[in-house]
Amino acid sequence: MKIEEIKANVLPTHVALIMDGNGRWAKNKGLPRTAGHKEGLSSAKKIVAAAAKLGIKYVTLYTFSTENWKRAQEEVGYLMTLIKGHLRAEFQFYKNNGIKIEHIGDLSGLPKDVQSEIIKAKEETKDFTGTTCILAINYGSRDEIVRAVKKLIENKQVSSLITEQELSSQLDLPFVPDVDLMIRTGGEQRLSNFLLWQCAYAEFIFTDTLWPDYTEDEFFDNIIEFQKRNRRFGSVLETK
């Protein structure tokens, strides 16, 4: 069993997932794009539960980007309804798996009812101590960095001596460590404006698997691959 091959002492602390391929999965089956998003939600639940089983502390899901507003109005409306309905209906899933919900992105730019569901989910799960599932909704990394700089200006903290630590402290969730492992499904090999700052030394795994077909076993394979990587963080390992 693949989960038994994973070394508990070399787990990534923070895994980020670009869940790509929902639309193509639906098209391949002759279904509307909305069907792909619905199936993608089921995959997201399975992978978050698998991460919780392993004891991974943080999982960030690229749920809806600042650029996704450019999609067809019908698809955007469906995605907002799907997000709202999921947050409302899945409390028992979060509780059973000890999952704490957090959010990154511009909350103020979302519909009021979606904002309310995000705030409610965060409040209801705030005391859970398992995996923290971070939902990137109305999120763009450049937007996050710009908003962080604006906070520094508002707090009159901007100077020629500004440090990485000061800027990091103004990001959406400054207490969350940088990404250790970034996984993107769907065959594309780019970051798409996702966690640019936090991925400075992330390991990357790209898979051709469309997100609705991404399984726990493939996730475990990706964790095993991560554990084989030689992470130097810019240094050179000494050879004996």
Positions marked active-site:
20, 68
Q: Are 40 and 61 in contact (CB under 8 A)?
A: no
Instruction: State the Cα–Cα distance between residues 196 and 183, nearest whole angstrom.
Output: 14
CA distances from 238 to 15, 25, 228 (A): 28, 46, 18
Q: Are 68 and 79 in contact (CB under 8 A)?
A: yes
Phi and psi angles of residue 81, each rounded to the nearest 5 degrees, phi first? -65, -40
Residue linked to tokens 């594309």: 188
Among the residues of the chain, which ranges form H helices? 22-28, 33-54, 73-89, 91-97, 112-125, 141-154, 164-168, 216-228
Buried residues in 191-204 as b, exposed as e (16+ CB within 10 A): bebbbebbbeebbe
Q: Which residues pair with 17 in a beta bridge?
A: 61, 183
